[in-house]
Copies of this chain bind each other. A is one copy, B any other.
């Protein structure tokens, strides 16, 4: 085991995969000259000359050319700078990358990774704070993953690069410097499989990315009040591991879903819909969702604090499904 930050863990993943496969390369804005705005590409360009490309501010060309490169024999990793800017190349993602294989009857594979730093950073405001998986839940053909620890950051990124299909890799901006244990031996974190981070009998919490950590914090507080939650770290947001969620929910009879993105139309909506369908007879309370309130992310600290999902919101939702407190 080594202690690595998220940035270092993703950097290791990049190095290992670029060493393993000469067709892997990475492109994006401001990644080579300064090693990425979060230091996540530090030293990579020197190690792999010609395979770490600074691009112009041209997101449609970044994702579109990544598709073209993938179709013709390379394995591109495209960095979006901020997940918020997926909007700018949304057509390339949803109408081209996601549909190419299907529309052309499976003529080519599309081994392509989109790295998308997401999430709330205090003061970054409406256009630099979003978690955007809710924009993409409705798109068949895309895979979405998001790590919650340096180990999963490494393992998921390696899997994403080895995948023969388009994977969006959401990495939370606030987590980059955070450290944690990472196995020294090579490993992959499988796509499509959730992990139970904490066992508990009272309520199932489904979370991913930074919200796993907030859920773990909530769990500690709740435990003091005698409430034992089970925490499922989704890791893959699409297609998510319904079985693990349903198995847990059938046991606890209660489910809370927590993500940082806006609640309305977020990934949690699809999860809740499927869980109520598959665990209907086991549910003792409605499924609740915790996330950003239904507005853009505001700048001012008290406003941000009010709209962003916090540990306390998770605790409250858990108590609510346990009928411990009034609404």
Number of copies: 2
B138 x A261 contact (CB < 8 A): yes
Question: Which chain A residues numbered 71 to 127 have a C-beta less than 8 Å away from chain B?
Answer: 84-85, 87-88, 90-91, 94-95, 98-99, 102-103, 125-127
| A163 in contact (CB, < 8 A) | no
Chain B residues in 8 Å Cβ range of A91: 85, 87-88, 90
A266: Cβ under 8 A from any B Cβ = yes
User: Which residue of B85, B261, B270, B287 contacts A265 across the interface (Cβ within 8 Å)?
Assistant: B270
- Bound together, the chains give a CA A285 to CA B276 distance in angstroms of 9
Is there an interface contact between A126 and B99, defined as CB atoms closer than 8 Å?
yes
With A and B bound together, what is the CA distance between A103 and B126 in angstroms? 7
B264:A268 contact, CB within 8 angstroms: no
* CB closest chain-B residue, reference A262: B138
Give the CA-CA distance A127 to B99 in the complex, in Å: 8
Partner-B contacts on A (CB < 8 A): 84-85, 87-88, 90-91, 94-95, 98-99, 102-103, 125-127, 132, 134-141, 238, 261-262, 264-270, 272-273, 276-278, 280, 283, 285-289, 294-296, 298
Q: Which 8 A-B pairs have the closest CB atoms?
A: A137-B265, A134-B138, A138-B265, A90-B90, A87-B91, A269-B269, A280-B286, A272-B273
A-B contact pairs, 25 of them (CB 8 A): A90-B135, A95-B126, A99-B126, A99-B296, A102-B296, A102-B298, A134-B265, A137-B264, A137-B265, A137-B269, A138-B262, A138-B264, A138-B265, A139-B262, A139-B265, A140-B264, A264-B270, A269-B272, A272-B272, A273-B273, A273-B287, A273-B289, A276-B276, A278-B286, A280-B286
